[in-house]
Amino acid sequence: MDAVTDTFNELLMAQQPIFDRHKSLFGYELLFRGDHEGEALFQNPEVATSQVLVNLCMGISTLNAQLRQPFFVNMTTELVLSDAFFPISPDTVYIEILEDQQITPAFIAAVKRWHEHGFRFVLDDYQYSESYQPLLPFMSMVKIDVLATNPLSIRPEIERLQALGLALVAEKIEDQDMFSCCVELGFDYFQGYFLSRPEVIKGKRVAADSQSALRLLNALQDVEVSIDDISELVAQTPALSFQMLRLLNSPVVGLAKAVASIKEAITYLGLVQLKRWSMLITLSSNNNGDPESVSRLLARARCCELLAKRSGRVNAEEAFTVGLMSGMDTVLQVPMLELLKQVTLSDGLQDAILKHSGDIGKVLYSVECVEQGRLEKLERFPESLRVSINACYFESLAWAREVIQVLQK
Which one-letter amino acid corresponds to residue 8?
Answer: F
pLDDT digits (tens, 9 = 90+) for 359-371: 999 999 999 998 8
Cβ contact 51:284 at 8 Å: yes
- Alpha carbon 114 to its chain centroid, in Å, reads 20
pLDDT of residue 1: 44
pLDDT, average across residues 180-206: 89
Q: Confidence class of residue 408 from pLDDT cuts 50, 70 and 90?
A: low
Buried b (16+ CB within 10 A) or exposed e, 306-342: bbbebbeebbbbbbbbbbbbbbbbebbebebebbbeb
State the burial class of residue 290 (Cβ atoms within 10 Å of its Cβ: 0-12, 13-18, 19+). exposed
Question: Mean pLDDT over residues 334-348, rounded?
Answer: 84
Q: For 222-267, write each residue's pLDDT tens digit.
A: 778 888 888 888 888 887 888 888 877 776 665 666 788 888 888 8
Q: What span, in angstroms and rounded, lies between the C-alpha atoms of 389 and 367? A: 7
Residues in the chain: 409
- % of the chain beyond a pLDDT of 70: 80
Are the beta carbons of 300 and 327 closer than 8 angstroms?
yes
**In what helix (H) or strand (E) does residue 26 lie, and over which residues does it extend?**
strand 25-31
Tell me the residue type at 50.
Answer: S
The Cα 4–Cα 334 span in angstroms is 8
pLDDT at 65: 47
Indicate the helix (H) or strand (E) that contains 113. Answer: helix 105-116
Q: Is the dihedral of CA 325, 330, 336, 340 positive or negative?
A: negative
Residues 6+ apart with CB under 8 A from 398: none
Is the pLDDT at 39 greater than 70? The verdict is no
Residue 172 pLDDT level (bands cut at 50, 70, 90): very high
Q: What is the largest CA-CA distance in the chain?
A: 87
